[in-house]
Amino acid sequence: MPRHFLLGTAALVALLIGTADAQTKPNISGVDRSYMNPSVSPCKDFYSYANGAFDKVPIPGEYAAYGVNQEIDERNFAILKDILENAAKAVSPTGTVLQRVGDFYASGMDEANVDRQGLKPLTPWLNHIRAIASPEELVAVIAQLQSLGFNVGFQFGVDVDDKNSTATIASLCQGGLGLPERDYYFRKGKDAEETRAAYVAHIARMFELAGEKPGSAKKIADSVMAFEMKLAKASRTLVELRDPEKNYNKVPRASLKRSAPGVDWNRYFATLAFPDSESKLLVRQPEFFAAFAKLLAAEPISVWRDYLRWHVLSETASYLSKPFVDERFSFYGKKLTGATVLRPRWKRVLAAEDVAIGEDLGQLFVQKAFSPAAKARAQEMVDFIKLAMRERVRAATWMSETTKIEAYKKLDAMRSKVGYPDKWRDYSKLDIARRPYVLNVLAAAAFESQRQMAKLGKPVDRSEWHMTPQTNNAYYEPTLNEMCFPAGILQPPFFDEKADDATNYGAIGATIGHELTHGFDDQGRQYDAAGNLKSWWTSQDAKNFQSRAERIVEQYNAYEVLPGLHINGHQTLGENIADIGGLRVAYLAFKLATKDKPAASRDGFTPDQRFFVAFAQSWRTNERPEAVRLHVGSDVHSPIRWRVLGSVANFPEFLEAFDCPKPAKAWPAIW
């Protein structure tokens, strides 16, 4: 997950020296007493004990939440800004990394030209949508818009085949919504009703900016909302989407004519340039596409045109003139997250460039921000954490030897990617120029669609990265059975190649353990060593796992994050398992890595205490209430404070480290 968080003195200095190379990183400790509140008992509220002084730090207006993640982001951004500005000033040969990086940034930063252009760059597409006269034309336009990255109707993608991880396959998934998640359309209560009303008002204002009169804009907004509610009604919930087996439905492409009749699938696939040789594909949510076909037949073309116009306006607004940018921020920023100030333009352009040509930018970033020594130390930690997980499996008395043997195979086969790719992505066929900003964004989206389509019929490229090197995040991919830790997250205070083991394992170690544990959570455990969706558990071991998982569901269901607002334990189950298991695996890895080293106290903390404080401080974050509500309503992760509290609860070594009494109620761990 994004570990995404006022800058202290050290962090501010780091910002000012952001262009330094990897050997001169700022000295930022993973354990900082100035953030702590020692008046709070670590046994009663460990998050407040470790981070209580930070609670008083105000959240800058541009952020929904602010803390350690945003401090790292700001330092990474400073390095990237310097790279971008220098590239934009340079005159580089066409087709080179520096030319693409500089021209994209220059087009985005030319605010005067963007404002002059207004909607003009999108006029051909908006006119194209207005001209739709039949369901057949509608299907073709949906395909065209999807190939430009628009979330309209549903989602088409190219994935690793869950049950044949050596092959790629096309997939159709539910989608097409403008609110964060399907339950936003149906959730009861004052807050939910106000959000829906604000969304409709936002749609209307966007159409007024596009030239519609207020009365017409209001009618269009009501129509779009009513239509999206029908799409939402046909969609699965976040909890339902957590079942890999139910989301695996491989069908002959010809069968779509029967299961979703009335959709001109031949025209749709031809427009996408989907190869005729691909005779099968995955339909992740079949009931959604049956409902989509009915909507295609029942809804007036005018409703579909308004819906498509809305998504084109909404999804490009950030790259258009100031009125569109401000209006989009008013809803998706202010209303949904509580942010009060629009982020500086350079940060917004940087974010877009990261999506568009992220590995071009990444090549330049790692030269400044990630040393060979850092890569080696991080890889060593990964190795110890894999060893620790092996020990956790071995010690699991609830698992049979039969299942354990398969678990060891999965661990041994698990790949780790650290820092940056061995092979950089080739963007040479992508035309980036100093033209209207939105056209560069759309060109990059089209390039990516074509790149994905080109994977079909070819072996899976296991060297490919699914995050850019400058990203402050990490992932585990079950179909590839691999973990990835970009250089962007391997930064102080999460990680420092010169730091002590306690702080490194408590902070980034828990993240590495988290991603590894995803291979053995309620979803990941269903994939085998090769990345195939295949049962490798005995029936009794699967029952034992599920029994323990339900205890975690109960634990998190009990957490009230705001008055009347509880975490959904089933929605967040996989992440909670990974948080709890990740911390335990990291702790054991810390012990394995230091077994032959002297265990000395430091800054008044024992090594174990430093480990746990470093873990808690790696999450120090202040979140706006609006952001917490958004988090609970649309995210599979628990809100940040509870990612700490839930992980240390019922952890014997934590209780011993801080001399805490045993809890009145304990439950068996999974990992």
Q: What is the pLDDT of residue 11?
A: 29
When computed from its CA atoms, the radius of gyration of the chain, rounded to whole angstroms, is 25
| Same domain flag for 50 and 168 | no
Q: Rounded to an integer, what distance in angstroms lies between the CA atom of residue 280 and that of residue 254?
A: 8
- Residue with token string 């046994």: 43
| Same domain flag for 124 and 46 | no
Cα three-residue angle 122-128-129, rounded to 5 degrees = 95
Q: What is the dihedral of CA 55, 58, 64, 69, to 10 degrees?
A: -60
| Same domain flag for 163 and 240 | yes
| Same domain flag for 306 and 393 | no
For residue 538, being part of any structural domain is answered with yes
Per-residue pLDDT of 271-321, as tens digits, reads: 999 999 999 999 999 999 999 999 999 999 999 999 999 999 999 999 999
At 600, is the pLDDT very low, low, confident or very high (cuts 50, 70, 90)? confident
- Strands annotated E in 311-363: none
SS3 617: helix
Range of the domain at 313: 120-319
Domain total for the chain?
Answer: 2
For residue 567, being part of any structural domain is answered with yes
For residue 629, being part of any structural domain is answered with yes
| Same domain flag for 58 and 189 | no
For residue 359, being part of any structural domain is answered with no
Active site residues: 515, 579
Mean pLDDT of 227-240: 98
| Same domain flag for 576 and 510 | yes
The overall average pLDDT reported for the chain is: 94
- Longest alpha-carbon distance in the chain: 77
At 599, is the pLDDT very low, low, confident or very high (cuts 50, 70, 90)? confident
| Same domain flag for 385 and 311 | no
Mean pLDDT of 103-118: 98
Angle between helices 437-453 and 345-369 (to 10 degrees): 50
**Residue 155: CA count within 13 A, CB half-sphere:** 14
For residue 94, being part of any structural domain is answered with no
| Same domain flag for 552 and 403 | yes
Q: Is the pLDDT of residue 5 over 50?
A: no
Q: What CATH number does residue 238 fall under? A: 1.10.1380.10
Mean pLDDT of 236-265: 97
Mean pLDDT of 422-449: 97
Mean pLDDT of 461-474: 97
Per-residue pLDDT of 616-662, as tens digits, reads: 999 999 999 999 999 999 999 999 999 999 999 999 999 999 999 98
For residue 106, being part of any structural domain is answered with no
The pTM is what?
A: 0.93
Q: What CATH number does residue 561 fall under? A: 3.40.390.10
At 65, is the pLDDT very low, low, confident or very high (cuts 50, 70, 90)? very high
Q: Is the pLDDT of residue 9 over 50?
A: no
Instruction: Answer yes or no: are the C-beta atoms of 282 and 171 closer than 8 Å.
Output: yes
